[in-house]
Amino acid sequence: MLLVFAPCLNHAQTVTSFDGIAASQVAQPGLDIDPNGAVGTKQYMEWVNVYYQAYDKTTLAKVWSSPQNGDTPWQNSGMSNCFGAGGGDGLIKFDRLASRWVIARRAFPGPNSYYYCVAISSTDDLASPTLSWFTYQFALNSVLGSNSRGNVYWPDWPKLGVWSDAYYASFDLEDVDNSYQQIGVVACALDRTNMIKGAAARAMQCFSDPSPIPLNGALYLAHSLIPADLEGATAPPAGRHEYFLSIQNPPDDGVTTTSNKLNLWNFHVNWTTPSLSTFKKSTISVASYTPACYDLTLPSNTFCVNEPSSTTTGWFLDSVGDRLMPRLAYRNFGTYQSFLISHTVQVVAGTNQQTGIRWYELRGSASPTLFQSGTVTNGNTLYRFMPSIAQDKVGNAAVGYSVSSNSVHPGIRAAYWSLVPKTAPTEIQLKAGVGDEENSGHWGDYTSMTVDPSDDCTFWHVNQYYAVNEIGSSINWNTRIAHFKVSTCQ
């Protein structure tokens, strides 16, 4: 365990960090590693690639002797579409209102066959000898649609959010016969009420939208709809629908490099009369931004982050700058409702150079609007990318992210600040990088920052780094889990 006492300009805190799952610990490490996790009442649970592990919050001891295969909860379920089927992009959530763990992953049991597999823990204690899982498999084919050849669209970049009336998921839809070009997005509501009891789940309710989205005579690509994800002990107001956000990328017109819009969808689910469920889109105006690595000649490019080896290898890291990054952290303060979201942007608009972290706070109930925003850059030449943001119970925000440059190996940092009143971010180091990714440039594709339900103050973040250079066919990534608390939250 590494203890780092970080200097701080406006609040003091202690950072504790430790190694999570590493490529050397699993049989099929793979890329991308998709690190994410959540903190519960007793443990922190991490998912990487197709494996998961949990750690005692106090001792940091592993719950299981080795990382578990992602399909383990379905092992004795009789659900052959989820157990033993290939998959990935697993996501971990802790449902604080129900005090249950949620695991969700895709599965591909056969050609042109896709399922969404969800497991709900029977207890909040992953070390309990009585731990069991309520398991579910949802057929996706009819939800995803298919191309002219009859091939089902690929469900990529899945996202998951915990809300009071449902679990909400989203997928990008990609055409397998057209270089995996994105053709749309789909959002679904899952029957949380019955699933947390282990009862039979009602059918998913799903809506889809095209992407690129036609708007005012132009096309705007919308990736990765991020569902609002509850944090804190207070549920949304009764009957309040779910929200999804995405950025509105610049139109592919060969001229425009900036955007000043976010896309907002309101998802109202009616479990009694599904025909009355609705999915409505609007836009939110924000400060102008250029998505990270955006290039007029290649608008889909997201690779531009320097690392020390870039000048000799030609490899650049993936900023994943064409989309918002989870989480859309929702907190109900009683007198107002707050949503936080972040993504990677160009520090200097219109260029494909240094990147920073743009964040937004939305407020409101029926129709949230922008309350405030900012960009984390710290005034140096570091690339900051791959963010995830959260908020504690007194209104401190914290965002964890990756950093890199031509002189700094990819590492992990965080910044925190007060939202009320708004203060300047203070940056802290969570883990210094030692090696470079020289294999493919892939990084992430996402991370996660969550808040400890035990005190509603402590931030937990997971991200990736390298202890040595990853060269050629070698795969040797590491992950790091860190937690810290801002001193004004007690």
- Encode pLDDT of 311-356 as tens digits: 898 899 999 999 999 999 999 999 999 999 999 999 987 666 899 9
User: Percent of the chain at pLDDT above 90?
Assistant: 84
Give the residues across from 463 on adjacent strands: 480
What was the pLDDT predicted at 226? 99
- 476 burial level (CB within 10 Å; 0-12, 13-18, 19+): middle
pLDDT at residue 463 is higher than 90: yes
Q: Which residue has the higher pLDDT, 297 or 346?
A: 346
What was the pLDDT predicted at 7? 35
User: CA gyration radius for the chain?
Assistant: 21
Q: Which residue is listed with tokens 């890199």?
A: 404
What was the pLDDT predicted at 350? 64
List the single range of 77-81, 85-89, 98-102, 182-186 with lowest mean pLDDT.
85-89
pLDDT at residue 1 is higher than 60: no
**Conformation bin of residue 393: beta by default, left when phi > 0, alpha when psi is -120 to 50:** alpha
What was the pLDDT predicted at 4? 32
User: Percent of the chain at pLDDT above 70?
Assistant: 97
The pTM of this model reads 0.96
What was the pLDDT predicted at 218? 76
- Encode pLDDT of 11-51 as tens digits: 647 899 999 999 999 999 988 999 999 999 999 999 999 99
What was the pLDDT predicted at 246? 98
Q: What is the mean pLDDT of residues 433-457?
A: 95
Neighbouring C-beta atoms of residue 22, cutoff 10 Å: 17
Of 171, 151, 23, 163, nearest in space to 89 by CA: 171
What was the pLDDT predicted at 351? 66
Task: Round the average pLDDT of the chain to a whole number and report it.
Answer: 94
pLDDT at residue 9 is higher than 80: no
Q: What is the mean pLDDT of residues 146-172?
A: 98
Q: What is the DSSP letter of 251?
A: P
Q: What is the mean pLDDT of residues 164-176?
A: 98
CA 214 to chain centre: 26
Of 459, 396, 453, nearest in space to 430 by CA: 459
Q: Which residue is listed with tokens 């823990």?
A: 121
**Conformation bin of residue 120: beta by default, left when phi > 0, alpha when psi is -120 to 50:** beta
DSSP states of 185-243? EEEEEE-HHHHTTTPPPPPPEEEEEESSEEETTEEE----PEEEEE-SSPPPPTTPPEE
Predicted confidence band of residue 421 (pLDDT cuts 50, 70, 90): very high
pLDDT at residue 413 is higher than 60: yes
pLDDT at residue 490 is higher than 70: yes
pLDDT at residue 70 is higher than 70: yes
pLDDT at residue 190 is higher than 90: yes
pLDDT at residue 5 is higher than 70: no
- Encode pLDDT of 130-144 as tens digits: 999 999 999 999 999
Q: Rounded distance, CA 434 to CA 437, Å?
A: 10
Which tokens hold the place of 107? 């599965």
Going along the chain from its start, the domains and CATH numbers come out as 2-484 (2.130.10)
What was the pLDDT predicted at 366? 83
What was the pLDDT predicted at 17? 98
Predicted confidence band of residue 85 (pLDDT cuts 50, 70, 90): confident
